[in-house]
């Protein structure tokens, strides 16, 4: 690879760009809030007391480090590389999302703004935001597509129990992208007293950078644990990619380790041949949406297309700009797993290991098994198990024709 | 002279303020737009902002979101909107037309192709809501070779240093967003707007237009007193929303609102 990977890890540049991607494509009203946030984060990220507070919360509130678990029965079943699971599902609130909401809520605290807002698809980011808001005494409003509210009822009720207001968004396709539009509209109107906690590694600068930095704990721990448990780094790491926050958290610390192959797994939906998927890196084109330039699912006129995935958290037509860049330079391979493959992996992991993965994470498990099968038995493959599947049991039961 | 510059020069010598209506191209259906545009001019429009529908209008309130959805239900594309301007020009060579919308449809068409086709269709300027000056270097370079104005937004939250940058990049006129919010937001505060306009006026000779929160003759007149142009969108689009299957009624209502604004503005000029 001719590109200097050290310099890749120093992205984004000062204007928030990863090569041609990223940037700050928002209406003027938000520009100064984004400038202020960039400045605040630049300052606090160099402040040891901020880092200590973040680390302390991750240890005692989230329960980090999360284990790197050797899935022996799954490995035997596949018959290839040793499969390890990075257990982000064991975090407080049940997914990786809380790593970021802890960090951003600390930023919110420093700004003194009393209100936080969030967009959510599967509801995991909404729950994680409502959780930290409850703990810090902040008023929390979560925007969620009407379609997702229906398929993630459990998380909606969790958010309400935590004291958050859940706003149903019925415009457009009534999924994650529309929730993000509505959160932006709310933010523009209430920018003086409201901190927007974006859950994915997308959006206008500095969000992709700060979400990555807060999620990079996943990859850093994985490296350390792999060395302790196996005496070396893994040969491959796998993570699912919707907006891409858990994946960038896993990948970022490995960028310079070229011996480690990296795979980002998009939602293949009903297959990549048609339009019923959510795989902009595999099948989309670069464009501008939600404040950044990145790969998008769009039609020939530049309108954003409706997406399909069995998992609400991957049902998004864009992707974080750093993934777009890592694709172009060839450092990460972006692939897809279909709804059916993800469901099969969901059931298999549940039965073989007693671990019920989120449907999002099941995409990574599905591809991880395929890839492991092609590798040698002395090789190591890590799947980022980004969340637990309790929230999905209604969907899984529904697909099996069972009413619970 | 570009029609936008000519328009503001003429108004200045007549001691009048510009009335700038916005409608979304293709709303409620593509073949209604050109006739609505002529209706706007008949009721006193000096310049028209024509919206390019986008699937994810994140700076717009519910009224213009729905307008986009109605237009997109008929697959109205950027090419279609350019075609509408071309047809409009068959009868009106004088009224400037500024396209307003989001960047992605233009990205997909390609900057150079867009600029040349826009000029060929009779478009005079472009306002891209989600493209601040920081992200517009390449686009500005392309359109500097064409006779198109680059209209930028200014907001109550724009600090002085940014305001200076925006004034340097903008041409045609500047669009001051009167309230923190989306289109169709609550009423504006005239004193607050005036203070901000005074601040901007010390930096530029460009005409200053004010939009967001202008609903009727009274607000239009109040804004006309302190600015160079009154921009009205949601109040007009609402007439289409209320009569989606009856364009002729929508047109009558929309013209009545605009005429009232025109009279109120001219009375205070």
ipTM for the assembly? 0.95
Whether B107 sits inside 8 A of A288 (CB atoms) is: yes
- Is A186's pLDDT higher than 80? yes
Closest CA to A387 of A180, A65, A88: A88
A59 Rama sector, left if φ>0, alpha if ψ -120 to 50, beta otherwise: alpha
> CA of A165: how far to CAs of A112, A144, A223, B94, B199, in Å?
20, 10, 38, 51, 39
Which residues in chain A have their CB less than 8 angstroms from residue B157's CB? 28-33, 191
Q: What is the pLDDT of residue A403?
A: 85
- Is A1's pLDDT higher than 60? no
Residue by residue, pLDDT tens for chain B (269 residues) are 899 999 999 999 999 999 999 999 999 999 999 999 999 999 999 999 999 999 999 999 999 999 999 999 999 999 999 999 999 999 999 999 999 999 999 999 999 999 999 999 999 999 999 999 999 999 999 998 999 999 999 999 999 999 999 999 999 999 999 998 888 877 789 999 999 999 999 999 999 999 999 999 999 999 999 999 999 999 999 999 999 999 999 999 999 999 999 999 999 86
Q: What is the pLDDT of residues A307-366, one digit of tens each?
A: 999 998 999 999 999 999 999 999 999 999 999 999 999 999 999 999 999 999 999 999
* Eight-class DSSP state of B93: S
Nearest to A28 among B69, B108, B153 (CB): B153
For residue A161, give the 3-state DSSP assignment: helix
Neighbours of A4 (CB within 10 A): 10
> What share of chain A has pLDDT > 90, as a percent?
95
Whether A185 sits inside 8 A of B61 (CB atoms) is: yes
Angstrom distance (rounded) from CA A381 to CA A230? 11
Q: What is the pLDDT of residue B203?
A: 96
For residue B230, give the 3-state DSSP assignment: strand
- Choose, out of B69, B108, B200, B210, the residue to mutate when testing the contact with A (most A CBs < 10 Å): B108
Whether A304 sits inside 8 A of B78 (CB atoms) is: no
Whether A189 sits inside 8 A of B79 (CB atoms) is: no
Mean pLDDT throughout A367-389? 98
Min Cα separation A185/chain B (Å)? 6
Q: Which residue has the tokens 């595999």?
A: A282
- Going by pLDDT thresholds of 50, 70 and 90, the confidence category of residue A160 is very high
Angstrom distance (rounded) from CA A312 to CA A200? 13
Q: What is the pLDDT of residue B269?
A: 67
Mean pLDDT throughout A7-26? 97
Nearest to A24 among B62, B102, B132 (CB): B132
Give the phi and the psi of residue B213 in degrees, each rounded to 5.
85, 5
List active site positions of B: 49, 60
Task: Evaluate if pTM is beyond 0.95.
Answer: yes
In whole numbers, what is the pLDDT of chain A averaged over residues? 96
Please report which residue ranges of A234-308 form alpha helices under DSSP H. Answer: 245-251, 280-283
């Amino acid at each position: 690879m001719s590109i200097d990977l050290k310099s890749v890890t120093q992205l984004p540049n000062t204007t928030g760009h990863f090569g041609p991607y990223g940037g700050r494509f928002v209406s003027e009203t938000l520009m100064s809030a984004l400038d202020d946030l960039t400045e605040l984060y630049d300052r606090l990220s160099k402040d040891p007391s901020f880092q200590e507070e973040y680390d302390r919360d991750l240890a005692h509130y989230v329960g980090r480090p999360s284990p790197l678990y050797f899935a022996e029965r799954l490995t035997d079943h596949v018959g290839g590389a040793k499969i390890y699971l990075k257990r982000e599902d064991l975090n407080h609130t049940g997914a990786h999302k809380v790593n970021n909401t802890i960090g951003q809520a600390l930023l919110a605290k420093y700004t003194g703004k009393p209100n936080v807002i969030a967009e959510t698809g599967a509801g995991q980011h909404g729950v994680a935001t409502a959780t930290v808001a409850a703990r810090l005494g902040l008023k929390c409003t979560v925007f969620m597509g009407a379609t997702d509210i229906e398929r993630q009822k459990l998380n909606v009720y969790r958010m309400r129990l935590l004291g958050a207001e859940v706003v149903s968004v019925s415009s457009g396709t009534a999924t994650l992208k529309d929730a993000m539009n509505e959160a932006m509209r709310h933010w523009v109107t209430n920018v003086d007293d409201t901190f927007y906690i974006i859950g994915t590694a997308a959006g206008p600068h500095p969000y992709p950078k700060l979400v990555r930095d807060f999620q990079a704990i996943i990859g850093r721990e994985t490296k350390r644990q792999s060395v302790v448990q196996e005496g070396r780094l893994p040969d491959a790491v796998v993570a699912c990619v919707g907006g891409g926050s858990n994946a960038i958290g896993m990948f970022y610390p490995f960028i310079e380790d070229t011996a480690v192959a990296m795979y980002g797994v998009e939602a293949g939906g009903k297959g990549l041949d048609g339009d019923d998927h959510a795989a902009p890196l595999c099948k989309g084109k670069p464009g501008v949406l939600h404040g950044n330039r990145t790969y998008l699912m769009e039609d020939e006129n530049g309108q954003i297309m409706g997406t399909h995935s069995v998992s609400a958290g991957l049902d998004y037509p864009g992707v974080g700009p750093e993934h777009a860049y890592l694709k172009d330079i060839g450092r990460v391979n972006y692939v897809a797993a279909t709804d059916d493959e993800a469901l099969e992996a969901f059931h298999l992991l549940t039965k073989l290991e007693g671990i019920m993965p989120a449907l999002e994470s099941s995409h990574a498990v599905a591809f991880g098994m395929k890839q492991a099968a092609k590798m040698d038995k002395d090789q190591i493959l890590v799947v980022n198990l980004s969340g637990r599947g309790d929230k999905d049991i209604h969907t899984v039961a529904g697909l099996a024709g069972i009413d619970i | 002279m570009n029609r936008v510059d000519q328009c503001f020069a003429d108004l200045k010598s007549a001691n009048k303020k510009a009335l700038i209506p916005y409608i979304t191209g293709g709303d409620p259906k593509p073949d209604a737009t050109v006739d609505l545009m002529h209706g706007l001019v008949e009721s006193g429009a000096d310049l028209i902002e024509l919206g390019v529908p986008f699937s994810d209008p994140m700076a717009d309130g519910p009224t213009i979101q729905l307008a986009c959805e109605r237009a997109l239900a008929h697959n109205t594309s950027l090419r279609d909107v350019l075609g509408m301007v071309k047809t409009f020009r068959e009868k009106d060579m004088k009224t400037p037309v500024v396209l307003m919308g989001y960047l992605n449809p233009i990205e997909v068409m390609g900057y150079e192709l867009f600029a040349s086709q826009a000029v060929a269709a009779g478009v005079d300027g472009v306002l891209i809501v989600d493209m601040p000056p920081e992200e517009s270097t390449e686009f500005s370079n392309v359109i500097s070779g064409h006779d198109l104005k680059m209209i930028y937004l200014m907001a109550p939250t724009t600090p002085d240093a940014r305001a200076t940058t925006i004034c340097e990049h903008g041409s045609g006129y500047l669009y001051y967003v009167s309230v923190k919010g989306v289109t169709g937001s609550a009423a504006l505060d005239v004193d607050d707007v005036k203070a901000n306009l005074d601040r901007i006026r010390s930096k530029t000779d460009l005409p200053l237009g004010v939009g967001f929160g202008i609903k009727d003759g009274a607000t239009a007149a109040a804004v006309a007193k302190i600015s160079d142009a009154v921009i009205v969108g949601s109040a007009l689009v609402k007439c289409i929303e209320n009569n989606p299957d009856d364009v002729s009624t929508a047109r009558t209502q929309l013209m009545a609102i605009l005429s009232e604004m025109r009279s109120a503005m001219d009375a205070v000029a």
